[in-house]
Chain A
Amino acid sequence: MFRTMLVEDNTIFRESLRDSLRLQFPAMEIAEAANGPEALERIDSLSPNLIFMDIRLPGQNGLELTEKIKKHYPEIIVIILTNYDLPEYREAAARFKADHFFSKDSMTHQEVSALVESILSEKGFKRNGSKRNPS
């Protein structure tokens, strides 16, 4: 089972993203965290394959959190979410070892779906989020 975690403090955005993903990938397990400490706490038990990470989080910067996560779990794919589609943000995301970058206000449903699909296939999962060849 493909597991995704959404780290985002804005409930409306978090839930709308969650709903969209559920609709697209019904077999995917989706967990949510509204801040850094909560996210770190749940990573161990959940061992997610993919994390959507907001940069601006209460208490901790999403970039720094990403760096920390990637240091311990380099296999987890991290997609940075931000309001600003600016080169500085993209560069920062790359510098902090994030894998992908989405601007919240310009990303489309299709783009998210396409990216998630490519990640699923890369990690050996079926389109719905279940493992292709269970071993």
Chain B
Amino acid sequence: MTFTYKNGNPEGAVVVAHDIAESKRAEQRIARLTKLYVVLSRVNEMIVRTHDEEVLLREVCRIVAEEGEFPLVWVGKVKGRQVKPAASHGSAADYLKEIKVEVDGDLGTGPTGTCIREDRPVINNDFDTNPSTAPWREQALRYGFRASGAFPMHRQGRVVGALTLYAPNPRAFDTEQVNLLEALCADISYALDAMQQEKLRTDAENSLRQRTLELQQLTETLEMRVQERTEELAAINEELRAENEERLRVEIELRESENHLRQLSTALLSAQERERKLIAQEIHDSMGASLAATKFKVEAALNDMGDGNPHTRAALESVIPIIQATIEEARRIQMSLRPSMLDDLGILATINWFCRQYESIYPSIRIKKEIDVQEHEVPNSLKIVIYRVLQEALNNIAKHSRASVVLLFLRKNSQTMELIIRDSGQGFDLEEAFSRKGTARGLGLDSMRERAELSGGSFSIESRKGAGTVLRATWPLNN
């Protein structure tokens, strides 16, 4: 302790008093620093425990306010121009409801705005005298604040807000406190970054999990759809197969039925021919021959009689023309049923006979024959078919064609036998002929075709109105 005098007045007491105040201030400073260390330590513990930003900020405010004995601590975040409280704690927390802080302009001159704008800790030593805190002076003093400090909070190196605290005494923050609080904010910023990183990672993981799940669901859905589609396709396939089988079955049935019909037609035609032949033969063998014998006997009797009873003679003589007429009638029936000539002499003689007879019935029609086959070259089974086709064709010509000339070809080559009947008549519309109903249909063309086809041949017809008609029946020859 030194005593100094100036102009005889002692000054030393002042020095002593100063010393006491100094040591007391040092004690207070140490106590505050100790408290802040505790704050720092508690905050760091909490950082390790907490993974939620909101909780972290709230707890930071609480710890700093309670342990540091500050009447208000808050964390503000930049939202546009404004700095909005994200968390706060302290007995004077209502202060925040009364003030506004911005990052620039008139409401950006305080420690919080400046700290955020300039990215550095800003200390306001006294609301009462600091002109930069004039906008909040009245409220601050009313809440008992004298000093305040703002510390920047970062996210990935960028300022996003500030931790602001208030003290009841002016000049409450010294350099060491500022350093400690700055370190606290750095820790919190780091924690927030880590948290965000963690959140991003978790989000990414969740997103990945979600995506994986979605993908899995999608895959499952897809698989399900594929399976459904496969099942559908299988069902359709099965339907098609069944349909196809059914169609095949119907086709086979149809073919069988056609075959059956063909067999029936063949059987019918040959039965008809057989019957006709039989009846014709019966007429020939019994009736015809008996009638001939009767006539012959009557004539013999007349011969024997000489000039006997003229009445008896006249009676017998009158019988002869009757018998003759009956014979001719029987022969006509027989020939129209089936010309016995076909069996006696063959197809060539029969064609000859038929044409001659035809020309005598229809004198306006001439038939020019070009027969280029030998009798033995025509298969027996074809003879009646050729005759019937010719008969039908010539009857048609007489009935419908108004032809004056008919060309008739019967010829063969090594593979086929061909019958062609060409007329010079008026022809007809094939479609019209085939579209007619009932007996008029096709002018007997169907029956010719049927006979030709049932005997293994083919049948064709060409006709145009005004241009005559050509019928062609062709049979394969299997030598």
Q: Could you tell me which A residues sit within 8 Å of B by CB distance?
A: 9-10, 12-13, 15-17, 19-20, 23, 55-56, 61, 63, 82-84, 86-89, 91-92, 104-110
B239 to chain A, nearest CB (A): 65
Given A88-B349, A88-B352: A105 touches B292 (CB 8 Å cut-off): yes
Q: Which of B49-57, B86-94, B146-154, B283-291 contacts A (4 or more CB under 8 A)?
A: B283-291
Q: Which of B99-107, B213-221, B294-302, B359-367 contacts A (4 or more CB under 8 A)?
A: B294-302
Query: Residue B304 at the A interface, CB < 8 A?
Result: yes
A86 touches B341 (CB 8 A): yes
B299 touches A109 (CB 8 A): yes
A98 to chain B, nearest CB (A): 13
The 6 closest A-B pairs by CB, nearest first: A10-B289, A104-B292, A88-B349, A13-B293, A16-B293, A105-B327
A17 touches B296 (CB 8 A): yes
A12 touches B352 (CB 8 A): no
Residues of chain B contacted by A61 (CB below 8 angstroms): 344
Residues of chain B contacted by A105 (CB below 8 angstroms): 288, 291-292, 295, 324, 327-328, 331
Name 14 interchain pairs, CB-CB below 8 A, sorted by A. A10-B293, A12-B290, A16-B293, A20-B296, A56-B284, A56-B344, A88-B352, A88-B353, A89-B344, A91-B349, A104-B288, A104-B289, A104-B292, A105-B292
How many interface contacts (CB-CB < 8 Å) are there between A and B?
A: 86
B302 to chain A, nearest CB (A): 8
SS of B interface (majority): helix
Cα-based distance from A107 to B296 in the complex (angstroms): 8
**Chain B, range 318-360, C-beta contacts under 8 Å to A:** 324, 327-328, 331, 340-341, 343-345, 349-350, 352-353, 356
Query: Residue B479 at the A interface, CB < 8 A?
Result: no
| CB-nearest residue of chain A to B326 | A105
Residues of chain B contacted by A20 (CB below 8 angstroms): 296-297, 300
| CB-nearest residue of chain A to B356 | A87
Given A88-B353, A105-B324: A13 touches B292 (CB 8 Å cut-off): yes
Residues of chain A contacted by B478 (CB below 8 angstroms): none
Residues of chain A contacted by B345 (CB below 8 angstroms): 63, 88-89, 92
Cα-based distance from A6 to B343 in the complex (angstroms): 22
Q: Which of A9, A17, A63 has the most B CB atoms < 10 Å from its CB?
A: A17
Cα-based distance from A108 to B324 in the complex (angstroms): 12
